Structure 1
Amino acid sequence: MNKFLRPAVVVLALLFAWMSGQAQQTVDVAAFEEGMQQPGVQIFDVRTAGEFNTGHLHNALQADYTKKEEFNERVKYLDKEKPVYVYCLSGGRSNAAAAWMRDNGFKEVVEMQGGINAWKKAGKALDGVKAAPQMTVNTFWQAVKADKLVLVDVGAEWCPPCRKMEPVLQQFLQTNKTVQLVKVDGGRDQEVMKAIDAIAPPTFIFYKNGKEVWRKTGIVDISELNKLAASR
C-alpha cells in the first residue's frame, strides 16, 4: 500500500469504528426484555408523567422528552458508561431521546421497537397500573404540624436524582433521629404539590410547628441537611 494512503486508511477505519459504536440499536420486545436483565442496566421512560402513571416497565426512571429542561436535568443522573434501555409510547420520542444521548456520550443506548404499545400487544405486564389514592392536603398539614422538625421529601421512584438522594436521606435520618420524614409522591400527590407549590421532584422542605423554614429543589448535600437540622 502507498505510504501516503496508509494514514488516510487508518483514519477512515477509526471513523468507521466510531460510527459503528454510535449506530442506532432498536430491538423488539423480547430482546428488550432480555436486555433489561443485565446487571446495572438503566431503564428510561421518556413519556410524560401522566403516561408513566398509567403503567411502566419495572424499575424504570422517567423524564419527559418533550420538556427539554426536565429531560436535560434528569438525564445527567444516568451513568453514561452503563447500558440505557429507553422507550416511549410507540417509538418516536425514544428514538429522538436515544439519538441525543448517543451524541452526548452515552456508550450504549437501546430502543424498544414499538414502545409500550408493542409491549402491551405482546401481553407483557406493567408496574403501577393500579393507581394508589392521593395523599389529602389535610393529611399533609396534620403531618407537618408536629412540634419537632419535619423534613418533607417530594420525590418519586422513577426520578433519577430522587434515587441518588435516597442513601443521603437514610444517612441523614440515622444521624438526626428526632427529625420526622414525610414523603410526598411527586407523580401521584398532585393536590399536595399544588398546596405547597412544589413544582418538580426532588424538592426538600423543612417545617417547624407547621411553618416552612427552608426549601430546595434538586440534589442536597448531607452536610447542608445536617447543618440545617442542628440550627433548628
Structure 2
Amino acid sequence: MAHYLADNPTPEAVAALPGLTLLEFGVDWCPHCQGAQALLAQFLSARPGLHHLALEDGKGRPLGRVYRVKLWPSFILLRNGAEIARAVRPQGLAELESLMRGA
C-alpha cells in the first residue's frame, strides 16, 4: 500500500523534475487508492527507471489543485515537468499502460 507524502513539493519543484515522473494523487484511507496499488506495483515493476511520487491530496494541498485533480487516485505522467498523460481511477493495467504511449 502506498504511503502518500503529506509534504508535497511546490509546483515549481515539480515543473523542474527531469525526465519521466509519475505523480500519484490520493490518500491512504481511500478505498479506490488502496484498490489501485496492485496495478500500480505491476506497472512500476516493468519500469524501474520511472520516478514515482505518491502525493497526499485534499484540503490544504494546493498541488492537486494545480493539476485539477478531482478524483482519487489520479496518475499524471510528466516529461521534464510537463503533463503528457493522465489516468483517473484506473480499473485495469491497460489504463496505466496507456500513459506511456506519448512517452
Could you tell me the TM-score, scaled by structure 1's length? 0.38
Q: Is the 8 A contact 1:161 1:219 kept in 2?
A: no
Aligned-residue offset at 1:200:
2.8
- Work out whether 1:170 is the aligned partner of 2:7: no
Aligned-residue offset at 1:163:
0.3
Paired position in structure 1 for 2:54: 183
- Work out whether 1:215 is the aligned partner of 2:86: yes
- Work out whether 1:135 is the aligned partner of 2:8: yes
Looking at structure 2, the residues matched to 221 and 173 of structure 1 have their Cα atoms a distance apart, in angstroms, of 14
Over the matched positions of the two proteins, sequence identity in percent amounts to 22
Looking at structure 2, the residues matched to 154 and 223 of structure 1 have their Cα atoms a distance apart, in angstroms, of 19
Looking at structure 2, the residues matched to 227 and 200 of structure 1 have their Cα atoms a distance apart, in angstroms, of 19
Q: Where do 5+ consecutive residues of structure 1 fail to align?
A: 1-131
Aligned-residue offset at 1:165:
0.5
How many residue pairs get aligned? The number is 99
Could you tell me the TM-score, scaled by structure 2's length? 0.77
Structure of higher CA gyration radius: 1
Looking at structure 2, the residues matched to 181 and 133 of structure 1 have their Cα atoms a distance apart, in angstroms, of 15
Alignment of 1:21-36 (within 5 A): none
Q: Is the 8 A contact 1:155 1:203 kept in 2?
A: yes
Q: Comparing both structures, which one devotes a greater share of its residues to helix?
A: 1
Paired position in structure 2 for 1:204: 75
Aligned-residue offset at 1:176:
0.9
Q: Is the 8 A contact 2:90 2:96 kept in 1?
A: no
Aligned-residue offset at 1:224:
3.0
Looking at structure 1, the residues matched to 83 and 21 of structure 2 have their Cα atoms a distance apart, in angstroms, of 9
CA distance 1:157–1:229, shift in 2 (3 Å): same
Q: Comparing both structures, which one devotes a greater share of its residues to strand?
A: 2
Alignment of 1:1-232 (within 5 A): 134-138=7-11, 141-143=12-14, 145-187=16-58, 190-229=61-100, 231-232=102-103
| CA RMSD, Structure 1 to Structure 2 (Å) | 2.4
Say which SS state the counterpart of residue 214 (structure 1) adopts.
strand
Q: Where do 5+ consecutive residues of structure 2 fail to align?
A: none
The one-letter amino acid of 1:175's match is A
Aligned-residue offset at 1:230:
5.4
